Every structure is written in C-alpha cells, then in structure tokens.
Amino acid sequence: MSAFEIYRTLPEQIAARLRQEVLSSKLKPGDPLREVDLSERFGVSRGPVREAFRQLTQQGLLVLEPNKGVRVAQNPSVEVRPLVVALRRTIETFVLGSIFERITEEDIALWTDILSEIKLACESSDVEALTDADLRFHQAIIQSHDDKDMFTLWQPIAMRMMMHYNRLDDIMESYREHERILEAIRRGDRAAALQALELNIQ
C-alpha cells in the first residue's frame, strides 16, 4: 500500500490492496472474486471484504453480476474508450484551469514528490508502482479543487482508464509527460500545462 494514504478501516485496506492488483493486472478483467476466499487471505470476517467490494464497485473496478457474483470490470471497449478519455480530459483540464491562479508552493511540492516516485518507477520498470504514482499525481490535482464532488465524478473514470496500464512502449515517456505538466505549472504557463495534461490522458 502507498504511504501517500492513511487507511483507517479494514475495508479501506482491503480495497487498496485489491485496487492495486486490478490496476497492475494481477487481477484481470472478468476474474471472479469471492468473499470467503478473500476473508481467509486477509484473515478477516466477510463483512470488511463485502464493504471493500462495495467501494471498488463504486469506483468502477468491480462489477456485481446476477448469478455470477463479483468480478473485475472489463476494460472500456474500443467504441467507448474515446468517450472515457474525453470525459477524463474534460474534468482534469477544467480542474487545473480553475485552480491555476491559486496553486501553492505546497501543491507544487506534493506534485514534485509524486513525480520523483513516477521517475523511480519508470527507471525500475515497476508498472505497479508507476500505476499507483500516476493515479496519485492526477488525484492530487483533482483534490486541490474546492468542490469535492469533482473527485466523485473523476475517480471511476480515471480508475477504468488505468486498468491494464500498457499505453507506452517507452515507459519513461510517462515520467516525461508528467514532468512537462509540472514544468509548465512552475512557469505559470496555463496554456502549456493544460495542453501537456491533455496529451498525457490517452
């Protein structure tokens, strides 16, 4: 689990572990998840596992299918993915544009720390760590907005896009893309930052 987040409950800890496994493709689309198996694995009763399932279903990573139980959600189809990309771009560029004039040194310091994690993950070809850090970089931008409903809108869209993270042939390009976003923010170049953010979301 990432040190970036503090989990206060068992369901949150279980959800974090399963989310990481879905996003790193250890759990693949369509894989079934059973309460009893996970209860034994995590050494807990079925209640916390059931609550973790509920959280991950809300986030779009799991689906509850009649007569089939809980399964890992499918990746967006070829037809639907452009819509998912467009929705995520719209939300993230709206948020960054809205907060741009009041970005603080603390914000930049946080994004810089996460960017360092992205670089380290790329250098070591650690896709699991990269997926986690990439998601947190964008999450930190979204959570800088005063309207917390933005996160509720953004999270399931971003989660579905991050499933099966294999967009880049050159994994270091992920670091360079995020670096371009942050460098434009540091320069106070709003247009360049928004353009770099759009190019990163594909």
Residue in 181, 101, 178, 175 with CA at minimum distance from that of residue 144: 101
- Predicted local confidence at residue 184, as pLDDT: 98
167 or 24, greater pLDDT: 24
* Chain segment 17-49, per-residue pLDDT in tens: 999 899 888 899 999 999 999 999 999 999 999
Residue 141 scores a pLDDT above 80: yes
Instruction: Measure the CA–CA gap between 178 and 135, rounded to whole angstroms.
Output: 11
* Chain segment 49-85, per-residue pLDDT in tens: 999 999 999 988 999 888 889 999 988 888 988 999 9
Query: C-alpha angle with apex 115: 82 to 152, nearest 5 degrees?
Result: 50
Domain layout of the chain by residue ranges: 10-72, 81-200
Q: How many CB atoms lie within 10 A of CB 11?
A: 20
CATH hierarchy code of domain 81-200: 1.20.120.530
Residue 87 scores a pLDDT above 70: yes
CATH class of 10-72: mainly alpha
165 band by pLDDT with thresholds 50, 70 and 90? low
Instruction: Measure the CA–CA gap between 118 and 103, rounded to whole angstroms.
Output: 21
* Chain segment 124-140, per-residue pLDDT in tens: 988 888 988 999 999 99
User: Which amino acid belongs to residue 59?
Assistant: Q
The DSSP code for 30 is T
What's the pTM? 0.83
